[in-house]
Amino acid sequence: MTEEADFSIGARIRYYRERIGLTQKAMGELMGKTENWAHKVEKGLLPIDRLSVLIDLARVLRVSDLSDLTGGFLSGAVTGSQFQHEAVPAIRRALSLPASLLPAGVSSVPVKDFAEGVADAWTVYETQEKDRYANVGSRLPVLLCQGHAALRDADSTEEEHEAVRQIISLYGLHQIWLRRVGEPVLARIAADRGVALADGLGDPALLAAATWNLSCVLTTSGDVGDSVALARETIASCRPGENASPEHLSAYGALHLQAAVAAVRANQAPVGHDLLREATKIARRLGRDRNDWHACFGPSNVAMHAVHLAAEEGDSGEALRLADSVEVNPEMPLERRTRYLIEVMHCNRIQKDDFATVYMLRKVTEQSPEEVRYSPLVREAVTDLMKREKPTWRADLRRVAQHIGVTA
């Protein structure tokens, strides 16, 4: 590109779409999404915050290098292999094996030790500020083999059930890690396996949690209609009774929130807001924030999702109005808190409030220095703001720019 070098990502997407003669509707269909999605992306109302979506867009728009869409902060030929995380090949090999072959050559692993390994990997992913993707990615294939060895050597039905529960939790960690590094197909495999195992145990709380994982993958992949249908069918079959456990209520509520996001993206806003209202009732019944099965549910996350739904609908002003009343629970997983703050930052940017945008950039960088370094939304905001620096926030902006490697 030449004269369009200062374009935003949305403007660049429009430029390349029009260059090859695609309508917004056609581009949306090729991406497995809607015309409304394409419109919002080009207007900057809906952020492109995942590398996998950028790569898919580049292929659809016949763009050979990501720098043409990003303005240079991400570059490289659009072949897929150059963006593969170094841990992915080993994970792919493990997920390609039948369950019966996974424990081959693995010595006996007590279920208790395996459970501790899964819990520690989740702790690293949810709390570690630096190098968590490399740390967790290297553990996943090893843990998967150990889990099936623990299941193979379990001494009782109780131990077998606990091993299966922990393997399902591990598949949940697989799906979220794989989605974040741009591997939706592998994420789908992991989530599908988790649902199959949960269905076999007949535990409604576990099935709701496993379905939440699969619904997340479907939504990320653009299969929003399927995501809504799956979540709602599972909601109907997993309804908690009067004496339901907090774990059951938490997983059930989280599934409502995920379905609400998918519904809004599928142009089913009334359904999405109905699901949000039901989630609000469940959160009140639950009474506090929980993180059962790492699905993160409670009053705080319900309030954050209300902000998210307003932003998804393109109403950044309403999103910010709602955000003014949200208190983010510091005990929530780091990624959930970070992604929420990035969304609030983006809404401020859409509203052209530069001071608030820089404030949020500084806040999110302090909270999660690794996450912001690879966020397209953060990089685009910093690049844009550096064109019109003001003395009141120049120093803060430049500190963030230096951290993520953006130069004036």
- Give yes or no: residues 90 and 109 share one domain: yes
Between the alpha carbon of residue 214 and those of residues 125, 259, 295, 304, 315, the distances in Å are 19, 11, 12, 21, 28
d(CA 76, CA 359): 31
152 plus 181 within the same structural domain: yes
Whether residue 323 is found in the same domain as residue 208:
yes
pLDDT above 50: residue 5: no
Are residue 236 and residue 296 in the same domain, yes or no?
yes
Q: What is the mean pLDDT of residues 76-94?
A: 72
Share of the chain above pLDDT 70, in %: 94
Domain closes at, from 149, 166, 201: 201
pLDDT at 383: 85
Domain span at residue 282 reads 202-327
Write out pLDDT tens, residues 43-77.
888 777 666 687 778 878 878 777 788 776 554 44
Domain co-membership, 255 together with 363: no
Q: Examine the domain organization and report whether 210 and 317 are in the same domain.
A: yes
Residues 336-342, mean pLDDT to the nearest whole number? 93
Three-class DSSP category at 297: strand
**Cα of 90 vs its chain's centroid, Å:** 22
How much of the chain, in percent, has pLDDT values that exceed 90?
A: 64
pLDDT of residue 140: 98
**309 shares a domain with 228:** yes
**70 and 171 belong to one structural domain:** no
Give the model's pLDDT for residue 73: 55
Of residues 292 and 31, more confidently modeled: 292
Could you tell me if 11 and 112 lie in one domain?
no
What CATH code is carried by the domain that includes residue 289? Answer: 1.25.40
Q: Compute the average pLDDT of residues 352-372.
A: 92
The answer on 208 and 195 residing in a single domain is: no
Looking at residue 80, its pLDDT comes to 42
pLDDT of residue 6: 52
**Residue 363's closest CA among 319, 324, 388, 400?**
400
User: Which of 16-21's residues contact partners 24+ apart within 8 Å by CB, and which partners?
Assistant: 16/61, 16/62, 16/63, 16/68, 16/69, 17/42, 17/61, 20/61, 20/62
Higher pLDDT, 8 or 163: 163
Q: Work out the average pLDDT over 312-322.
A: 93
Of 327, 345, 379, the one marking the end of a domain is 327
Per-residue pLDDT tens digits for 193-205: 999 999 999 999 9
Q: What is the CATH classification number for the domain harbouring 39?
A: 1.10.260.40
Same domain, 231 and 192: no
**Nearest-CA neighbor of 306 among 322, 291, 293, 321?**
322
pLDDT at 111: 97
Residues 218 and 296 in one domain: yes
State yes or no: pLDDT of 312 exceeds 50: yes
Is this model's pTM higher than 0.85 or not?
A: no
Confidence tier at 1 by pLDDT (50, 70, 90): very low
Task: Indicate whether 81 pLDDT > 50.
Answer: no
State pLDDT tens for residues 269-292: 999 999 999 999 999 999 999 999
Number of folded domains that form the chain = 4
Confidence check: pLDDT of 343 > 70:
yes
Q: What is the pLDDT of residues 179-195, one digit of tens each?
A: 888 788 899 999 999 99
Closest CA to 172 of 144, 133, 203, 200: 144
Residue 133 has pLDDT above 80, yes or no: yes
Look over the chain and give the mean of its residue pLDDT values, rounded to a whole number: 89
pLDDT of residue 31: 78
Whether 2 has a pLDDT exceeding 50, the answer reads no
Q: Backbone phi, then psi, for 77, in 5-degree steps? A: -65, 145
Which H or E element spans position 194? helix 184-201
